[in-house]
Structure 1
Amino acid sequence: MAGACGCGADGLRGDARSAAVQDVLDKRARAVLDQDGAAYRATGGADPYLLLDLAAVPLDSWAYRLTRLDGSGTRVHAAAELRYRVDGYDKEPVVAERTLTLLRKDGRWRVVDDEPAAKSGQQLWEQGRVTAVKGAHSLVLGVDQQRSVLKSYAAIADEAVPAVTDAWGKKWARRVVVMVPGSLDGMGDLLGSPAANYRGIAAVTTGEAGGARTAPADRVIVNPEAYGVLGAFGKQVVLTHETAHVATRAVTTPATPLWLSEGYADWTGYRRTGRTPAEAAPELRRAVQQGTPPGSLPEDADFGFSGDAGRLARAYESGWLACRMIADRWGEAKLNGFYAAVGGHRRRAGAVDEALRSVLGLDEDDFTAKWRAYVRGELG
């Protein structure tokens, strides 16, 4: 364990000190799971309200893994992974990087500070007491939100899950966890990024790219300000879109371009809504009618939240029409097969072209030409 060797002024060898710190973290984790206030306080004064703020969250597991220990004497700084699962929703744990400070007094180590590591996001309960609402297929966790509002989110999520299953199939958890902070700033804190990056973005889905045997524990994080002003149709499309990301995460890898992952999620969101391309792709339609249709599918950089709003909209609309074209001309099963085939590659280079050849029987240049014609035909 890096930084854990040598002797400190407390007289303990580094490995013994590491073991002692890990023991404190283990006791802290057990106290969280048991909601044992006395045992929790015995491990230190950091986050004194954590048990209350967490009380409504149905935890299945909660554990710390010490990864680094720096310092000597009676004060050390620890890096650790917090791993937790929500009961009934997570097959794999959420992993959060934490930075802790511990002090040794009267022969005992105690945690005096516990914060997200640099560039890591907060956990929802660090923003206040969590309210939980369970739906048939969903769990909605909110801070500073009325229960009635969270119930409405659960109702929408309960429609999104079967809609996604109808499109993608049953090979996913068929459950979704939705997190609703109290503000846009709270959303930014959860994501570990400036809130300004998400202004106007109704929701995002967290989670690492898959490609493994088990899907990670995704979270749909709602921007209460942007999501709240949407109408009923817009709210449903957004939450169905984000739920599609949860469903497809296990086969979404670094080889998957954003036009495909975002386009597929939009295709799922708009599927069977009756919305026409002119209604769902206004920015791209404007470009076509002005004689400036796109010459190629969007690059990943075109999907940056902090960039030009029109460029971002055209990127999403272009990806959606590409997926819609595949579903229209080759069938929905081929679209799903193409998505999985692209994600089956370890590297981006050649992944789309090879998947197009194996699933649809054409190369990337042919596909792009057909897509350009499809865009002009649908929006011209």
Structure 2
Amino acid sequence: MAGLCLLLVPPLSGCGGPTAADPAKAQVQRVLDRRAAALLRHDAAAYGATGTRAAYVRLRALPLAAWAYRVTSVHRDGSGATADADLRYRVAGYDTAPVGVRRTLTLSRSADGGWYVTADAPAKGAGQQLWDQGAVTVVRGAHSIVLGTGRGPGELRGFGRLADRAVPAVSGAWGTDWARRVVVLVPPSLDGMARLLGSPASDYRGIAAVTTGEAGGAGRAPADRVVVNPEAYALLGDVGKQVVLTHETAHVATRAHTTAATPLWLSEGYADWTGYLATGRAPAAVAPELARAVRDGRVPAELPADGDFGFTGDPARLARAYEGGWLACRMIADRWGGARLGAFYRAVGAHAQRAGAVREALHEVLGTTPREFTARWRAYLRARLG
């Protein structure tokens, strides 16, 4: 993602130099620096001296390795002000680099003429953070940390047990060249999930969980979060819940090798292949929508396109897309082996762009062509689902 730099030249008046910077920006920065330092050392009194303690109460259980604001602008309004700031933070033991989020802070003047914070909220257009929805409860596992709001430790420990089983399962399939730990966010509701992701709730209705990563440089993701939809998740059985957490953990593991060159049928198919690997479920049971289509003589002509994976479209089409991607990856594992499937995934992601990535990886890793691969996949669907 390219950045755009603008050089702003302030107007000159007569022979004078540039307009002096507003001292309020530096003053607010100092207040936020003190506020961040107090939070990191768990000093409630010092935090309260910089303004409202509401965020401290919600954040105090979160294990933080870093927390810092960078003020980008201050807008004064009489005795008050609003400040736009970039917040960067790290969860201790899990984030390899800071997560960056945009915040808007409201400030008022104190009796001694200083500034104090009266509110700290997501910037316009930015998603909420979990602490915006309530006090964060933290449960640690062997390979996971579960952060929840509105839910007790007992319920969160259930997510932790599933995540702790998912991590070694994913490592067994993918390998150990990843962090081998996962952060799970459990908001209070579907609406809470949607606010974390900055999208309408309708986009995620029926979706049990998603994984989102803060993109770092060179394809690295310093902070992946598995975000649960507690309403859809609660409708799943024990096997389904484990499949979902393993699927999302596979996304965390493969993130560094998932690029613009990676089609969704491969990234989602691989995650599903990993999730279902130990379940022993028959293909027709895992892929009911596609099985119905195959039995009706409607075998797909092509592998699923990225557009078929949209959450807001036809649910049956979405199901067939996921099922088709899963069966493509299952076919590779059956025909060439699981290790070769992982090598194919990495080879596709190593390309700088989508064009030619799958074709070249098919040739280099599997010794086939897109046409031959698609024909083999269609025959596989008939054999497994017909």
The TM-score range, normalised by the shorter chain, is: over 0.9
Deviation (angstroms), 1:362:
2.0
Partners of 1:179 and 1:221 within 8 A in 2: yes
Question: Which consecutive segments of 4 or more residues in structure 1 shift more than 6 A?
Answer: 1-7
Match of 1:39 among 43, 46, 50: 46
Question: Hey, what does 1:224 align to over in structure 2?
Answer: 230
**Letter of the structure 2 residue corresponding to residue 376 of structure 1:** R
Distance in 2 between the 1:335 and 1:6 partners?
Answer: 60
TM-score scaled by structure 2?
0.91
Q: 1:310 aligns with which of 316, 328, 332?
A: 316
Tell me if 1:288 matches 2:291: no
Q: Deviations over 1:323-380 (max 9, x none)?
A: 1111111111111111111111222222211222221122222222221111112111
Q: CA offsets per residue over residues 147-171 of structure 1, 9 Å max, x none?
A: 2111111111110010001011111
The whole-number CA distance in structure 1 between the counterparts of 2:272 and 2:216 is: 20
What CA distance in whole angstroms lies between the structure 2 residues aligned with 1:353 and 1:27? Answer: 54
TM alignment of 1:1-380, pairs within 5 A: 13-14=20-21, 16-45=23-52, 48-70=53-75, 75-105=80-110, 106-208=112-214, 212=218, 214-380=220-386
Deviation at 1:35, TM superposition (A): 2.0
Shift in CA distance, 302/210, structure 1 to aligned 2, threshold 3 Å = farther
Mapped to 2, the partners of 1:289 and 1:359 lie a distance apart of 32
For 2:171, the aligned partner's letter is T
Summarize the Cα distance change of 1:210–1:335 in structure 2 as closer, same or farther, 3 Å threshold: farther
Contact 1:216–1:250 (8 Å) recurs in 2: no
Identity of aligned residues (%): 63
Normalising by structure 1, we get a TM-score of 0.92
C-alpha distance in structure 2 between counterparts of 1:57 and 1:318, whole Å: 40
Q: Distance in 1 between matches of 2:9 and 2:247?
A: 45
Q: What displacement does 1:4 show?
A: 11
For the 8 Å contact 1:131–1:141, the answer to whether it is kept is: yes
The whole-number CA distance in structure 2 between the counterparts of 1:42 and 1:211 is 37
CA distance in 1, matches of 2:9, 2:35: 21
**Contact kept in structure 1, 2:233 and 2:241, CA below 8 Å:** yes
Query: How far apart are 1:44 and its partner, in Å?
Result: 2.6
- State the SS of the aligned residue for 1:97: strand
Tell me, in whole angstroms, the C-alpha distance in 2 between the residues paired with 1:221 and 1:27. 31
1:167-200 deviations in whole A, cap 9, x for unaligned? 1111111111111111111111111111121111
Could you list the per-position Cα deviations for residues 67-100 of structure 1 after superposition, in whole angstroms to 9, with x for gaps in the alignment? Answer: 3444587544332221111111111222211122
Question: What is the RMSD of the two structures over their aligned residues, measured on CA atoms?
Answer: 2.3
Query: For the residues of structure 2 that align with 1:111 and 1:344, how far apart are their CA atoms?
Result: 46
Give, as a single letter, the amino acid of the residue that structure 1 aligns with 2:64: L
Asked if the contact 1:2–1:68 (Cα under 8 Å) also holds between the matched residues in 2, the reply is no
Q: Which runs of 5+ in 2 are unaligned?
A: 1-5, 13-18
Q: Against the structure 1 CA distance between its residues 6 and 109, is the aligned structure 2 distance closer, same or farther, given a 3 Å change threshold? A: farther
Alpha-carbon distance in structure 2 between the residues aligned to 1:221 and 1:269 = 17
User: Does structure 1 retain, via aligned residues, the 8 Å contact 2:239–2:279?
Assistant: no
CA distance in 2, matches of 1:74, 1:4: 28
Deviates more, 1:153-162 or 1:69-78: 69-78
Amino acid at match of 1:144: G
Distance across 1 between alignment mates of 2:288 and 2:106 = 52
| Whole-angstrom CA distance in 1 between matches of 2:216 and 2:88 | 18
Tell me the SS of whatever aligns to 2:102. Answer: strand
Task: State the alpha-carbon separation in 2 of the partners of residues 251 and 211 from structure 1.
Answer: 13
The structural deviation recorded for 1:268 is 0.3
Shift of 1:16: 4.2
* CA apart distance, 1:285: 0.4
State how far apart, in whole Å, the 2-side matches of 1:152 and 1:350 are: 43
